[in-house]
């Protein structure tokens, strides 16, 4: 299976302050082999939450958006999400979201890639901005 057979997604979460008003966002690309791929920009928020909940919510929302898809490449700047998803770190908090993640991702093959935040990656910067905007407008 080549990269174009997999759904490519960038995710991020934000909380202002932490804990406080939060936002999550993801951008999905239709075909990374295309010079101008179709992009889906999806975001939302929560009134009282934490940054880690928003980071994980972005992944869950993306997987729900593409229900039925089995192959994913997910880029995130969240070590928390990657390490907990891979079983490297214990899932001591946000158990409700981790249970939801498990249900949604059970039949999926997910390749995780860490992106250093605020390092100039185009899509990471875009999801960061979307998540922060959601956190600011969530009431």
Q: Could you tell me which residues are beta bridge partners of residue 28?
A: 9, 40
Is 125 part of the annotated catalytic residue set? no
Is 12 part of the annotated catalytic residue set? yes
Would you list the domain boundaries of the chain? Answer: 3-137
Is 46 part of the annotated catalytic residue set? no
* pLDDT at residue 34 in the model: 65
Is 13 part of the annotated catalytic residue set? yes
Catalytic residue among 46, 61, 128, 134: 128
Q: Kindly list the averaged pLDDT for each block of 10 residues, start to end, along the chain of length 139.
A: 72 96 95 75 96 98 90 96 96 97 94 91 95 90
Could you please report the per-residue DSSP string of 82-112?
HHHHTTSS---S-HHHHHHHHHHHTT-EEEE
* pLDDT at residue 31 in the model: 66
Instruction: Supply the CATH classification number for the domain 3-137.
Output: 3.30.420.10
Catalytic residue among 46, 55, 61, 134: 55
Is 106 part of the annotated catalytic residue set? no
């Amino acid at each position: 299976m080549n990269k174009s057979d997999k759904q490519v997604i960038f995710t991020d979460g934000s909380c202002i302050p932490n804990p406080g008003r939060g936002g999550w966002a993801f951008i999905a690309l239709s075909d990374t082999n295309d010079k101008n791929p179709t992009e889906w920009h999806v975001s939302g928020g929560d009134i009282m939450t934490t940054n880690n909940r928003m980071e994980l919510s972005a992944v869950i929302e993306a997987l729900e958006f593409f229900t039925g898809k089995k192959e994913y490449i997910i880029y995130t700047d969240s070590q928390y999400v990657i390490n907990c998803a891979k079983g490297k770190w214990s899932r001591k908090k946000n158990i409700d979201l981790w249970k939801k993640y498990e249900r949604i991702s059970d039949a999926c093959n997910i390749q995780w890639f860490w992106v250093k935040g605020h390092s100039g990656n185009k899509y990471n910067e875009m999801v960061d901005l979307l998540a922060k905007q959601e956190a600011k407008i969530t009431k």
